[in-house]
Amino acid sequence: MDVSQHKRFVIPDKSYASIAKREISRMAEEVSLSAADIGKLNIVVSELTSNLSKHASAGGELLVRPLGREGIEVICIDRGPGMQDPLRMMEDGVSTYGSAGEGLGAIKRQSDVFDLYSQPELGTVIVTQVYKSGPLRQQASRHDIGYVLVPKPNETFCGDGLAVKQNGAEINLLALDGLGHGAHANEAAQAAVQAFAAASPQYPSDTLRTIHQQIRRTRGAVGLALNISGNSHKLSYCGIGNIAGKLYSPESSLAGLAYKNIISYNGILGHNIPNTLNNQQLDWSRNKTLVLHSDGLRSRWELTKYPHLNRHLATTIAAVLYKEHSRQTDDTLVLVCKSKV
């Protein structure tokens, strides 16, 4: 899975739309999208920024990243009033603003992947992906993985990081937060990602020991390594520092057991870690949702606050949590993995 940080475009009013559109078009050219595909992307961006300028009086932004060399992802964070009936609002001719009411429908038609989550008083998140023309070359997977990875405001480099390895029903995840923020934090996080990529599959505790040795010359990081087996239906993990996590089980929410917390050891990778690291294990089955995040996200959140959010794409879940709980004073990583089978 290709991983890259999101570029953040704050859209306080419609005058910023042309700046965002021009920069996003340049990003599309860099991944070799055709003129026709860039045209589709421009329509998506134009409609999203138009909606933000009309409805998001409390603020809005676009989060944009390349999807490897295959396409562009655009996440719209709309802190406006939200929608009572999102499905109806996607019908052409339906508008609450007195316009032609074609915006959401146009965005969906021009997108290869489209997801929308909105609730009254909670705003709206729209996830769109535009790929190169032709059939999508996405591999079938038992898991849906999505994330938001955003630098601290006014910083270029993100000090948080993540990495994903997939092999059939087996998946290995790494979530990181380089100490501090900016270029040096990014250097530490990327050194850890490279160590993870170079290592053979191993237990999470051994993964962290390997990373610890490889990033000693950096300022260090906190991190959590996690293995999921779709065959044995088990999740094992080990963490160092304040990467937080929760495993959500919708079928248990009525019993008050919606979450199981992911607990980490104290320490700093690259500097000091406990002599003994044990792997913890949890059950992994259909409809489970895992959320990992750095301390750029406030820890007091509950998915049960957002009706039916667990039915949406993993990226949408990550974006809703970012919209609602990002501190906006640090780098932010929100990583979501959902079991589909």
> Of 124, 167, 180, 164, which is closest to residue 312 (Cα–Cα)?
124
Half-sphere exposure of 193 (CA within 13 A, CB side): 20
Number of domains composing the chain? 2
Q: Is residue 137 part of a domain?
A: no
Percent of the chain with pLDDT over 90: 72
Check whether residue 207 and residue 70 sit in a common domain.
Answer: no
Task: Name residue 309's beta-bridge partners.
Answer: none
Check whether residue 123 and residue 166 sit in a common domain.
Answer: no
Residue that terminates a domain, selected from 131, 162, 183: 131
> Of 159, 104, 161, 128, which is closest to residue 41 (Cα–Cα)?
128
Q: Is residue 2 part of a domain?
A: no
- At 136, the pLDDT band (50, 70, 90 cuts) reads low
Beta strands in the chain (DSSP E): 7-10, 60-67, 71-78, 113-119, 123-131, 143-150, 160-167, 170-178, 221-229, 234-240, 244-248, 259-262, 280-283, 289-293, 332-339
Check whether residue 123 and residue 155 sit in a common domain.
Answer: no
| Cα–Cα distance, 86 to 261 (Å, whole number) | 32
Supply φ then ψ for residue 128, to 5 degrees. -130, 145
Check whether residue 106 and residue 171 sit in a common domain.
Answer: no
Mean pLDDT of 67-78: 95
Query: pLDDT tens across 247-304, in order?
Result: 998 766 555 557 899 999 999 999 999 999 999 999 998 889 999 999 999 989 988 8
Check whether residue 324 and residue 304 sit in a common domain.
Answer: yes
> Of 129, 20, 127, 32, which is closest to residue 72 (Cα–Cα)?
129
Q: Is residue 136 part of a domain?
A: no
Check whether residue 205 and residue 240 sit in a common domain.
Answer: yes
Q: Which residue has the higher pLDDT, 119 or 13?
A: 119
pLDDT of amino acid 254: 53
Q: Is residue 220 part of a domain?
A: yes
pLDDT of amino acid 101: 39
Check whether residue 60 and residue 161 sit in a common domain.
Answer: no
- At 336, the pLDDT band (50, 70, 90 cuts) reads very high
pLDDT of amino acid 82: 87
Q: Is residue 1 part of a domain?
A: no
Check whether residue 156 and residue 188 sit in a common domain.
Answer: yes
Radius of gyration of the chain (CA): 20
| Cα–Cα distance, 212 to 268 (Å, whole number) | 8
- At 33, the pLDDT band (50, 70, 90 cuts) reads very high
Residues 6+ apart with CB under 8 A from 206: none
Cβ atoms of 13 and 19 closer than 8 Å: no
Mean pLDDT of 66-81: 94
Where do runs of H (alpha helix) occur along 56-143? 86-89, 103-110
Indicate if the pLDDT at residue 243 is higher than 80.
yes
pLDDT of amino acid 304: 84
Indicate if the pLDDT at residue 100 is higher than 60.
no
| Cα–Cα distance, 132 to 138 (Å, whole number) | 12
Check whether residue 191 and residue 319 sit in a common domain.
Answer: yes
Q: Is residue 138 part of a domain?
A: no
Mean pLDDT of 176-191: 97
Check whether residue 331 and residue 216 sit in a common domain.
Answer: yes
Residue that terminates a domain, selected from 83, 100, 131: 131
Mean pLDDT of 104-119: 94
Residue that terminates a domain, selected from 107, 131, 155: 131
Domain containing 326 equals 143-339
Give first-to-last CA distance, the chain, whole Å. 19
Check whether residue 97 and residue 168 sit in a common domain.
Answer: no
List the CATH number of the domain containing 114: 3.30.565.10
Mean pLDDT of 109-116: 95
Check whether residue 119 and residue 177 sit in a common domain.
Answer: no
User: CA of 44: how far to CAs of 69, 126, 253, in Å?
Assistant: 19, 11, 37
Q: Is 142 exposed, middle or buried (0-12, 13-18, 19+ CB in 10 A)?
A: middle
